[in-house]
Structure 1
Amino acid sequence: MKNQASIQGKFQYRLSGWKYSALVRFLLFLLLTVVFYLALTNKFIPQTYDIQKGSHAEKDIIAPRAIENAIATEQAKEDAAQRIQPVYKIVSLKNDQLVESIFEKLQQINADAEVTLGDKVNIYKTVIPNIIEVHTDKQVKMYTGSGQYNDVMLEEMKKKIVEQQYRIPEETFYKLPRLLKEDLIAMEPVAKEIVNRLMSDQILDAQTVRAKVAELVNSSTLSKSTAREIVQELVRTAITPNKFFDQKGTDEAKGHARDNVKPIFINKNEVLVKKGDQITDEMYLRLSSLEMLKDESSNWPKIGLMMLVSMFSLFIFMFIRQSSQSIKNNNAQLLMLVLILLITLFGMKLFSLVQNLDYPYIGFLAPSAMGAMLITILLDTSIAYVATVLFAIMASVIFNTDHLQPFDFRYALLTFVTSFAAIFSIQRASQRSSILKAGMVVSLLGMVLVASLLLLEGHESSKNALVALSFTIGSGLLTAVFVIGLLPFFEVAFGILSPLKLVELSNPNHPLLRKLLTETPGTYHHSIMVGNLAEAAAEAIGANGLLCRVGAYYHDIGKTKRPVYFIENQTNIENPHDKMDPELSKSIIVAHARDGVEMLKEYQIPKPIRDIAEQHHGTTLLQFFYHKAKKIAEAEGQTKPVDEMDFRYPGPKAQSKEAAIVGIADCVEAAVRSLRSPTLEQIDTMVRRISKGRLDDGQFNECDLTIKELDQIAKTLNETLLGIFHSRIEYPNDLPAQTDALKQTKRS
């Protein structure tokens, strides 16, 4: 018997050995790395083609992402720069000072009687051009270093003034020495007034302005013809350009115009080259700029991407390694995590396929929070937080339409916020309708975030904003729908008992529970009481209280096959065990655990609950029937002692804390119920005696229940039992003795 059990145990271990294999664990993390790589590869590594200039495309070449059309953009920038008019600056020139300097020199030289007329003519030929040159240099120097005009423009100013300088006719120099002081005094204000008047306009070409001088002088107060002629010449000399071309300013304006041109994009999935088209220089250059040519492709992006996704996998590995959850050693749960990540990333990729510049916000519709919600329900909240960070990074790359930056923070932030909202909303869910409520919370918070981003950007039209918000609302609803649809698959495929599934199984309308209630009402009441006790004890030590409660509901379902053989169902009938052989009674009592497991399998009840039904008695001894058999053997004079092993449950012993807790609660409830009027001291003594008895009997050797936890379980059971039996607690001096029948109930 033992040899057969040993062989069966080895077979089961080999069958489930993959769950704890280090090689399988490595392969799963390798698969996860490959999944990350494939999810991001088209964003970082474009498809390459083996084509040459002048050849014909064998198939359509599609843009792997929304990319800038560099040639069209550059042409648009050139067109914008060409439309910029030359920039001219107006310089305020003090040319009236030039007139004043010339008249001052005229009065000085003409007043000198010692200088001959011929010498004066020669002096004027030299002095007046010198005065003009000095004045020009002074004007340029005045603005140099002021910051008002750049040096290039000041050089242009000097150049234009010199180029357009007026040449005084030769005969004018002969007339200047003959001017009297009175003539000069009358001429100076007229000349200055005309210069100021003409220089107040913008002058690009001085010659056109000088044509107006004669009319203005002739209409002045000067009466002498000589004076008018000389004033005309001096005024023409003083008229210079004051509007100058600014090369630097023009270049800057053109630069701003070029910078303001928005890049022209080729939309994602747009055909770059049609099948059969000849590859032109422009097409080849465009493909080359996209690194889509095999000859020009680089392996560095592939290496960089592999390093990035390896860091993602290492991040998950290190977190799981330091986790206290069962996924640390359970490859089945790790496989489930990989599948959830794969499904979530696949969903993102699916929505990204239809995303382009015409529909830029369709990524808001993707159910990015689905993975975080599934991980929270099926695995653990802390793992869901870690996965959220990775989902946010992935979403920022997958939905990014800007080829200049690899990440779009909007999608990262949206995924981060909605996933956290999903985790907070679903972690204490007890019904499947809670998933829909969580989806609504995801929609609400996502909508608030998207609205805030749109307001911050401030350039979207009301139509686009409405579309973006609608997509965000749809994302939450899709998340709920996909989670509700995928949850049963994971529960069945991996035997996962989610809180939602446990709550469904605890429904009194479940066929097995209805069968238990109608056919064995005593056992049903006993199971409900055990469920209350087990749940309280489990939560006190951090075990799965809901699993203990539901497991307790089903732990004695096997009694429905032979209900009258169990004392709690014997109402006003004789106990059939009184007239039965103890070995036969033992076989009937022991069979209820095996029968329960078979019934639970028939109704496809998950394995953790079946394990509780099978293990809650462990290998405990049926003391009543064992002692009864010993008495019969002694009475019949049998020399062969009764083997204790023949009156023990076949096991297995409790493999989990939950199975051990249900076993203790089952025994304690039956024992305390056998007391007529239990006191607090009686309850405490009974609970601790049963706990210690099971511990000494080695029933907890195969589960990780500690002495400290066992003590906490005893305290919690005492408090719970006190609340249950408080209405009938009395404190008599003499405690009634237990009957044999009640002892039998306690041990069964």
Structure 2
Amino acid sequence: MKNLFSLFAKNQSLIYKVFLFILSTLLVIYFLPKGGQFKYNFQKGKPWQYENLYAPFSFTIKKHEDTLKKEREQIRNNAVPYFEYNNEIEASVLENFNNKLETKYVDSLYATPQNTIKKIGDRFISETYKKGVTDEIHTYDGDKLIYLKNGNEIEERSYSQLFKKENLNKKIRELVEKNNIEDAQALLYNLLSEVLDPNVKLNTKLTEASIDAEIKTINPNRGIIEKGGRIIAKGEVVEGDKYQVLNSLKAEFDSQIWSKNNYLWLLVGYSMLVSLVFLMLFLFLKNYRPYIYHNNTKVTFIFFNILLMVFLTTLVLKVHSDYVYVVPICILPLILKAFFDPRVGLFVHVLTILLLGFIVPNSFEYMFLQFIAGIVTILTVSELYKRANLFISVGQITLIYILGYFAFFVIQEGNIQTLQWENFGYFILCGLATLFAHPLIYFYEKIFGLVSDVSLLELSDTNSKLLKELSNKAPGTFHHSLNVANLAEAAANEIGANSMLVRVGALYHDIGKMQNPTMFTENQANSINSHNELDPKESAKIIIDHVIKGIEIARKHNLPDRVIDFIRTHHGTSLVYYFYSKEREEHGEANKEDFIYPGPIPFSKETAILMMADSVEAASKSLKEPSSTSIDEFVEKIINNQMAQGQFLNANITFKEIEMIKKVLKKKLNNIYHLRVEYPE
């Protein structure tokens, strides 16, 4: 049991990666569509690349969606509407009419007797309500057939047979002319317009149910392809009827292959493919980005983003497949580039698109557009902390989507008449969603403890609390740090390293000197040196301890680990040579271990640049009469000595890059000391 626990403790990082690998694979398989993959890849408008294809089994030819849509529209247009008849309205209308007539009829005003008006009105109401009265406005033609539901009986009528209240004035005039009662026309119109209530209304529920029932009877098939029948020959263009037949075969294949018998085999196939993708990611990180591979937090961060994109795409596809381009896939390489580097961003983006190829429709078109958009993202987005850069990049990504989609549509359809312009809106929405990268980066920094260029920009502010404290307590060290930052930033730009990171590292690399500022020469205001009263070992310990104290201060102020790395490595495992020599002079011998910085040595280009810039800038203060020649010589001497000590063995930096850094440092120091060529008098 003890041995098992010990084995687990030694390999917990590897065990965690295996767990992450298995969990991610299972989650992706869960998100994948529950169906097999059709073994032929074809596109509308493209030639058939395979051998002649014969039907492997008999299957029905599915109607095109446009055809089904037209049939549904035709059924809806030709559907017979149902109207509901209310028998109770007529009696109440008659009663209201007679009551109002009694009230409003005045013998002295009308020549027509009241009884005559009553009979005409009652007869009109009775005849009209038998036909049906409606006040609804419909677009039906007059000869449109309708069903009039009266209780349990349904009667066929034409729509024109219903009486519309808007025709009341015309009908009153006809009654007046027929019965010669012109004096009572206004009275009759006023009474009837007040009392007439509709007794026929459109029964929407019954009408829609009838339409739905008829739509369900539509046959989605238009024919049968018998087993062995030729579907398409090699080289034929996939279009029209051929394209529909191939889609029908694909649909039938997908429905047949995902059965209980081969369910397990399909899971095995999916597991192998998804596992290969994640295995490639682990191999890439282990071989080319070991600093990420050995950091489980960073590995988890990468896997989390891949799973997030797969989940979002799956979620959107469940709503509607047309919205698939709304998912901002390009936010993935953008964020990974902000935290790591472009190569990691592009590699992970490519692997994610390969996984999404199992899910999305028109996978070739989708993958092509996403690959191009991802490459554009990597090539265009730089210095993400500059807000304008993100907007420019998003505009370029959106333009690539639009141009790519338009090109695919023209190739497939051969015209732009049926172009779905709303898809361009989806691309614009995708671009707007990509702008969410900034708040997402902030969220990731807090959750995963990572640092991006945006945070580095904030840390580079010399008005920050920690740097102001450094400038107050150790002004000489603060000035030295500013000079080192300028030197290191220029060198980083020259070799293509992260200039913002190395600048921030330079600003904070000596914060440990705040504890005993006067023990460092740059902070000594007079010629009195505190080390003269100390033993060389004590002096060396104070000098060396500024690294440890710097790390403690940095952790107390929550500086990112990437910045603390510069504090740990800026002296590497170098020797405090002055006090080592002094110890040997005073005691005849010295233990070298007491005068060596604890390290580690620089393990990146940026930390190596800081070590060179820091040593050169500090040593330049000892030059009594700086000249171009002396500066060149001492830069060469210092950096060559560091190389001889093996300080850059883990830094992944080339000899060529070191030579380029030397040139930059020489040029900058010459500018600092304002050296000019001496002209003869």
Q: TM-score range by the shorter chain?
A: 0.5 to 0.7
Q: In the aligned structure 1, how far is the partner of 2:357 from the partner of 2:541?
A: 64
Q: In the aligned structure 2, how far is the partner of 1:718 from the partner of 1:255?
A: 82
- Structure 1 residue 683 and structure 2 residue 631: aligned? yes
1:722 to 655, 670, 675: 670
Q: Which residue of 2 aligns with 1:435?
A: 390
Q: In the aligned structure 2, how far is the partner of 1:318 from the partner of 1:702?
A: 20
Q: Which residue of 2 aligns with 1:370?
A: 331
Amino acid at match of 2:421: A
Distance 1:548 1:452, change over 3 A: same
Q: Which residue of 2 aligns with 1:671?
A: 619
Distance 1:729 1:643, change over 3 A: farther
Q: Which residue of 1 aligns with 2:26?
A: 34
- Structure 1 residue 420 and structure 2 residue 420: aligned? no
TM-score by length of 1: 0.54
Taking only aligned residues, the RMSD between alpha carbons, in angstroms, comes to: 4.6
Give the C-alpha shift of residue 347 in structure 1.
Answer: 1.6
Q: Deviations over 1:339-381 (max 9, x none)?
A: 22111111211212211xxxx5222211122222223323332
What is the count of residue pairs matched by the alignment? 480
**Equivalences for 1:231-630 in 2 at 5 Å?**
290-291=255-256, 298-313=263-278, 316=281, 323=288, 326-327=291-292, 333-355=298-320, 360-400=321-361, 407-431=362-386, 434-453=389-408, 457=413, 465-466=421-422, 468-481=423-436, 483-492=437-446, 495-538=449-492, 543-571=497-525, 574-580=528-534, 582-628=536-582
Distance 1:344 1:16, change over 3 A: farther
Give the C-alpha shift of residue 600 in structure 1.
Answer: 0.9
- What is the aligned-residue identity percentage? 30
Distance 1:557 1:354, change over 3 A: same
Q: In the aligned structure 1, how far is the partner of 2:284 from the partner of 2:578?
A: 51
Q: Deviations over 1:442-479 (max 9, x none)?
A: 233323444555566457778x523x222211111112
Q: Is the 8 A contact 2:369 2:404 kept in 1?
A: yes
Give the C-alpha shift of residue 40 in structure 1.
Answer: 1.8
Q: Is the 8 A contact 1:502 1:550 kept in 2?
A: yes
Q: Deviations over 1:515-540 (max 9, x none)?
A: 33344332222112212333344555
Distance 1:692 1:485, change over 3 A: same
Q: In the aligned structure 1, how far is the partner of 2:455 from the partner of 2:356?
A: 31
Q: In the aligned structure 1, how far is the partner of 2:620 from the partner of 2:325?
A: 59
Q: In the aligned structure 2, how far is the partner of 1:646 from the partner of 1:303?
A: 60
Give the C-alpha shift of residue 554 in structure 1.
Answer: 0.8
Q: Is the 8 A contact 1:392 1:413 kept in 2?
A: no
Q: Deviations over 1:715-736 (max 9, x none)?
A: 44323323333x1457799xxx
Q: In the aligned structure 2, how far is the partner of 1:34 from the partner of 1:427?
A: 35
Q: In the aligned structure 2, how far is the partner of 1:295 from the partner of 1:524?
A: 72
SS in 1 for 2:329: coil
Q: In the aligned structure 1, how far is the partner of 2:554 from the partner of 2:463?
A: 16
Q: In the aligned structure 2, how far is the partner of 1:14 from the partner of 1:600?
A: 32
Distance 1:670 1:473, change over 3 A: same
SS in 2 for 1:473: helix
Bigger radius of gyration: 1
TM-score by length of 2: 0.59
Q: Is the 8 A contact 2:35 2:258 kept in 1?
A: no
Give the C-alpha shift of residue 678 in structure 1.
Answer: 1.0
Q: In the aligned structure 1, how far is the partner of 2:430 from the partner of 2:645?
A: 56
What 5-or-longer segments of structure 2 have no aligned partner? 1-6, 38-59, 73-221, 225-239, 245-250
Give the C-alpha shift of residue 601 in structure 1.
Answer: 0.7
Q: Is the 8 A contact 1:558 1:592 kept in 2?
A: yes
Give the C-alpha shift of residue 395 in structure 1.
Answer: 4.2
